[in-house]
A = this chain, B = another copy of it.
Amino acid sequence: MTERLVVIGGDAAGMSAASQARKRRASSDLSIVAFERGQHVSYSACGIPYLVAGDVTDPDHLVARHPAQFVALDIDVRLSSEVVGISDGFVTVRSPDGEYREPFDQLVIATGGVPARPNVPGALSVGIHGVQTLEDGIRLLGYLDRHAPKRAVVVGGGYIGLEMAEAMIRHGLDVTLVDAADQPMRTLDPDMAGLIADALRREGVTLRLGERLEGFASHAGRVTAVHTTGGEIPADIVILGLGTRPNSDLAKAAGIAIGETGGIRTDRRMRTSRDGVWAAGDCVETFHLVSQRPVAIALGTHANKQGRAVGINIGGGYATFPGVVGTAVSKLCDTEVARTGLSTAEAEAAGFRPYSVVTESTTRAGYFPGARKIKTKIIAERTTGRLLGAQIVGEEGAAKRIDALAVALWHGMTVEEMTSLDLSYAPPFAPVWDPVLIAARKAAEALGSFS
Residues of chain A touching chain B, judged by Cβ–Cβ distance below 8 Å, are 12, 44, 46-47, 50, 55-56, 61-62, 159, 289, 299-301, 304-305, 308, 317, 320-322, 324-331, 336, 338, 340, 365, 367-369, 397, 399-404, 406-408, 410-411, 419-430, 432-434, 436-437, 441, 448
Contacts and interface: CB of A to CB of B under 8 A. Distances in A.
Given A403-B404, A408-B407, A428 B50 contact: yes
Nearest to A321: B420
For this chain, the copies found in one complex come to: 2
Contacts of A338: 424
Nearest to A317: B448
A46 B425 contact: yes
A422 B61 contact: no
Contacts of A304: 432-433
B320 A420 contact: yes
A248 B288 CA distance: 49
B422 A324 contact: yes
18 contacts: A12-B432, A44-B367, A44-B427, A44-B432, A47-B427, A50-B368, A61-B367, A300-B425, A305-B419, A325-B422, A327-B423, A327-B425, A331-B426, A399-B424, A399-B429, A403-B434, A406-B423, A407-B421
Contacts of A410: 421-422
Contacts of A50: 368, 427-428
A429 B324 CA distance: 19
Contacts of A322: 420
Contacts of A411: 407, 411
Given A327-B422, A340-B422, A399-B429, 8 more contacts: A44-B365, A159-B426, A305-B437, A327-B425, A329-B426, A400-B400, A407-B408, A407-B421
Contacts of A301: 423, 425, 432-434, 437
